[in-house]
Amino acid sequence: MSAPPLRVLSVIPPMTQLNTPYPSTAYLTGFLRSREITAVQEDLALALVLQLLSPDGLRAVAAKVAALPAKKHSPAVQAFAAQRDRYLATIAPTIAFLQGRDTTLAHRIVGRNFLPEGPRFATLDVYVDDEGGDPLGWAFGALGLHDRAKHLATLYLNDLADVLRDAVDPRFEFVRYAESLAGSQPTFEPLAAALAGPLNLVDETLRTLALAAVERHAPTVVLLSVPFPGAVYAAFRIAQAIKATHPHIVTVLGGGFVNTELRDLTEPRVFDYFDYVSLDAGERPLLALLEHVQGQRGRQRLVRTFVRDADTQAVRYINMQEADIAFAEVGTPTWDGLPLDKYLSLLDMLNPMHRLWSDGRWNKLTVAHGCYWKKCSFCDVSLDYISRYEGASASVLADRIEAIVRETGQTGFHFVDEAAPPKALKTLATELIERNAGISWWGNIRFEKTFTPELAELLADSGCIAVSGGLEVASDRLLDLMKKGVSVDQVARVTRAFTDAGILVHAYLMYGFPTQTAQDTVDALEYVRQLFANGCIQSGFFHRFACTVHSPVGKAPEEYGVTLEPLPPVSFAKNDIGFHDPTGVDHDALGGALKKAIYNYMHGIGLEEDVRSWFPFKVPKTTVQRNRIEKALQQRG
C-alpha cells in the first residue's frame, strides 16, 4: 500500500514576535514548494495572543481572576479586576488599531480617557517635567498622534500580559515564554513535569488552536520550528495535542534552539512528542526525512537527524553525508497562508531605532547563509549557521525581493544575517537602485572599514534605513581578544558615516567578557557615551556575556584566561557553561548601571554627565579622554 501524498504544515509556536512572522516557516514553505511538495504554514504564536486578547479571551481571564484569593492579587490583577468592564470594551478596538485597521481610534487613545491604565503606565511618570507638563511631548511633539497612541496601547497590552502571568500562567510572557524550562537545561525533567501538569487557560487555548489548524490543513507531517528557548514549551504542548488526537501525523522538531542546544540529545522522552529531531541547515535533512516518510529511502539514509530506536528506546543520531542545498537554490520565502493583516505593530521603546524590532511588518530575508567573518570568540563559529558561508547573486536576491513584495504588498525588509557582507550589500544596493525597487531595509553588519561614507550613501539610496552591529566591549584590548577585527576608533568612523547618510545605528554591547575589569567596564561606558554624544549611534543594548560550549571561549578557555565550570550530565539542552574569571569582578552589579545609563542615553539624557554617576557605588575613574571619539572622527578620510 502506497504512502498518502505528502502535505507538510510548518508551525511557528508561541512565543516569537507579534509584529511580523518569524521567518523560518516562510523559508521552509517556499523551499518545499520549489520542490513541488504541498506545504502550508501557521503562526500559532500570533493566534494564541489574539485569542487571549479578545473579549472572549478576557472574559475567561476575568473568571480566573475572580477565583483567585484577594491576597494573591498583584497590582496588575487588582487594576484589571477594578476595570474589568473597560478592558472588555476596549480590547477589540485596541487590537484593531494596532493592526492598522482603525487608525482614527488614536485620537481617543491619546486623550488618556479611553484605555484603562494599569501599573505599566507608571513608566510615563519619569517623563513629567517639574511643571507637570506633557509626559510624552518630548518624544512625539504636537503631531505624533499615531505613534503616541501606539505607545499607550502597547503599555495597555503589557498590563494584560502581566495579568495573564499573575493570574493564569506564571510562565507567560510575550517573549521568553517558559524559557527556563528549556534554555541550557541539562535534563528533561522540568519540561516533562510541566507537560504532565494540568492544562491552564493558555494551554487549553493553544491546544484548541493547534487542533483547529490540523483540521484545516490535514497534514501528514507537522514541522515545529523553534528558534528560542521561549518557544520550546509551547512547541511540545502542540506536539502533545497532535499525538493525543492524530498519532499517525509525523511530528518533527527543528529550528535555532535545536541547532544550538540539542546537538548532544540523548533523552528518549522527547520522542513521545516528536518522531524526529532535525539539525541545521534544514533543507537537506528535511528532504531526506520526507523521502524516508514516503518510503523512498531507508532509515539509515537520514541526514543530521535524531530518532528513537523502536527496539532499545535509545536515541540515535543518523547523518548520512549528503551535500547541502546551495543557498541560491533554496527558493524564495513565502508568507502565503499567514495573516499578514493581523500582526500587531507595537511601540514599547520611544527610541526611533530601537522600535524597529517590534513596530512594523517586515519581510525577513537573508542576504547570505552563515557569516563571512566567523572569528568572534563569543560566537558559535563551529555551527552551520555561522561556519558555512554561502551567498547568492544580487540578481537572485533582487528577484526574491520583488517576488515577496508582489506577494505581501509590503516593501519593508529586515535582512536577518549574522552579519551581512559589505560586498554583497554593495552589489545588491546597486541592483536595487537600477531596478527602482523602492524598498526600505535594515539589517545586521560588522562595523568594518569597508563601510565607507560612499558605501553608506549608496546603501541609503537603495533604501537602507538602519543598521545594527556588534561594538561589544568598547575596549581595543578586549576587541582584539574577541577577534572582532575592529577598533573603537574605526567603529566611530563607520557608524558616523552611516548617521551622516541618514541611516540609524544600533550597537550591540557586552559586559562580563573574560578578563574584563571594572576599569574596562567604566571605560567602555565612557566610549559609548561619546558615541552617542557625537551622533555615531542612536541606540544600543548591553548584554551579559554568556560562554557557550560551541564558541572559541568554550572550546579553549585557557586562551582567554578563564577556567570552565564542570557541566552536570546532559541528556537534553547544552549551551551556556559557567566559568571562573580570576579578575573577580561583580559584573551583575555593574550591569544594572550600564543598562540604566544606556536607556537614558537613548533618550538624550545624561550625555554630559560623568559616567561614574550611573553607578550606585564607587567605581574607578575612567582613563579615556573625553574627546577620544571626537578626535577619531577628525581622522576620517
Neighbouring CB atoms inside 10 A of 5's CB total 9
The answer to whether residues 122 and 186 belong to one domain is no
Q: Is the pLDDT of residue 347 over 60?
A: yes
| Cβ 511 vs Cβ 590: under 8 Å | yes
Which of 129-133, 295-299, 417-421, 539-543 comes out lowest in average pLDDT? 129-133
| Residue from 413, 409, 411, 461 nearest 433 by CA | 461
Q: What is the model's pTM?
A: 0.94
In a domain, 408, yes or no: yes
The answer to whether residues 512 and 535 belong to one domain is yes
Q: Is 606 left (phi over 0), alpha (psi -120 to 50) or beta?
A: left
The answer to whether residues 40 and 55 belong to one domain is no
| Cβ 503 vs Cβ 467: under 8 Å | yes
Cα gap 310→306, rounded to integer Å: 13
Strands 305-308 and 315-318: antiparallel
Mean pLDDT of 59-81: 95
Q: Which residue has the higher pLDDT, 282 or 302?
A: 302
Confidence grade of residue 296 (pLDDT, cut at 50, 70, 90): confident
The answer to whether residues 260 and 293 belong to one domain is yes
Last residue within a domain, chosen from 138, 167, 196: 167
| Cβ 347 vs Cβ 358: under 8 Å | yes
Helix (H, G, I), strand (E, B) or coil at 440: strand
Q: Please name every residue paired with 505 in a beta bridge, in sequence order, or none if there are none.
A: 467
pLDDT digits (tens, 9 = 90+) for 610-628: 999 999 999 999 999 999 9
pLDDT digits (tens, 9 = 90+) for 542-580: 999 999 999 999 999 999 999 999 999 999 999 999 999
Helix (H, G, I), strand (E, B) or coil at 242: helix
Give the residue numbers spanning the domain of 261: 7-44+179-328
Tell me, what amino acid is at 562? V
| Residue from 107, 64, 117, 109 nearest 87 by CA | 117
**b/e for 116-138, b at 16 or more Cβ within 10 A?**
bbbbbbeeeeeeeeeeeeebbee
In a domain, 342, yes or no: no
In a domain, 227, yes or no: yes
- Scan for cell 560550549, then name that residue: 549
Q: What does the longest C-alpha to C-alpha distance in the chain come to?
A: 81
Mean pLDDT of 510-515: 95
Q: Is the pLDDT of residue 297 over 90?
A: no
User: Residues 377, 382, 387, CA angle at the centre, nearest 5°?
Assistant: 100
Which of 7-21, 129-143, 173-187, 422-436 comes out lowest in average pLDDT? 129-143
Domains in the chain: how many in total?
Answer: 3
Mean pLDDT of 359-387: 92
Confidence grade of residue 130 (pLDDT, cut at 50, 70, 90): low
pLDDT at residue 295, as a whole number: 86
The answer to whether residues 488 and 624 belong to one domain is yes
Q: Which residue has the higher pLDDT, 51 or 129?
A: 51
CATH code, domain carrying 223:
3.40.50.2300
Q: Please name every residue paired with 442 in a beta bridge, in sequence order, or none if there are none.
A: 414, 466
pLDDT digits (tens, 9 = 90+) for 394-406: 999 999 999 999 9
**b/e for 36-70, b at 16 or more Cβ within 10 A?**
ebebbbbbbbbbbbbbbbeeebbebbbebbeeeee
The answer to whether residues 146 and 282 belong to one domain is no
| Cβ 177 vs Cβ 233: under 8 Å | yes
- Residues above pLDDT 90, as percent of the chain: 89
In a domain, 32, yes or no: yes
Confidence grade of residue 593 (pLDDT, cut at 50, 70, 90): very high
Q: Is the pLDDT of residue 637 over 70?
A: no
Mean pLDDT of 33-48: 97
pLDDT at residue 180, as a whole number: 94
The three three-digit cell numbers of residue 567, written as one number = 557541566
The answer to whether residues 405 and 370 belong to one domain is yes
Q: Is the pLDDT of residue 138 over 70?
A: no
Q: Is the pLDDT of residue 133 over 70?
A: no
pLDDT at residue 1, as a whole number: 52
Confidence grade of residue 337 (pLDDT, cut at 50, 70, 90): very high
The answer to whether residues 156 and 292 belong to one domain is no
Q: Is the pLDDT of residue 256 over 80?
A: yes
The three three-digit cell numbers of residue 490, written as one number = 574605526
The three three-digit cell numbers of residue 514, written as one number = 573574560
pLDDT at residue 455, as a whole number: 98
| Cβ 87 vs Cβ 117: under 8 Å | no
In a domain, 154, yes or no: yes
| Cβ 530 vs Cβ 630: under 8 Å | yes
Tell me, what amino acid is at 476? D
The answer to whether residues 587 and 469 belong to one domain is yes
- Residues above pLDDT 70, as percent of the chain: 97
Distance of CA 562 to the CA centre of its chain: 29
CATH code, domain carrying 531:
3.20.20
Cα gap 500→49, rounded to integer Å: 40
- Scan for cell 584590548, then name that residue: 477
Tell me, what amino acid is at 101? R
The answer to whether residues 36 and 58 belong to one domain is no
Last residue within a domain, chosen from 298, 328, 358: 328
Cα gap 264→574, rounded to integer Å: 7
pLDDT at residue 272, as a whole number: 98
Q: Is the pLDDT of residue 58 over 80?
A: yes
pLDDT at residue 129, as a whole number: 56
In a domain, 125, yes or no: yes
Mean pLDDT of the chain: 94
In a domain, 568, yes or no: yes
Last residue within a domain, chosen from 167, 193, 219: 167
H, E, C per residue of 285-353: HHHHHHHHHCCCCCHHHCCCEEEECCCCCCEEEECCCCCCCCHHHCCCCCCCCCCHHHCCCCCCCCCCC
pLDDT at residue 128, as a whole number: 56
- Scan for cell 549551551, then name that residue: 575
The answer to whether residues 421 and 526 belong to one domain is yes
In a domain, 57, yes or no: yes
User: Residue 203: which residues within 8 A CB-CB, separation 6 or more?
Assistant: 169, 237
Helix (H, G, I), strand (E, B) or coil at 630: helix
Cα gap 333→541, rounded to integer Å: 30
The answer to whether residues 409 and 551 belong to one domain is yes
pLDDT at residue 131, as a whole number: 55
| Residue from 215, 213, 249, 246 nearest 51 by CA | 213
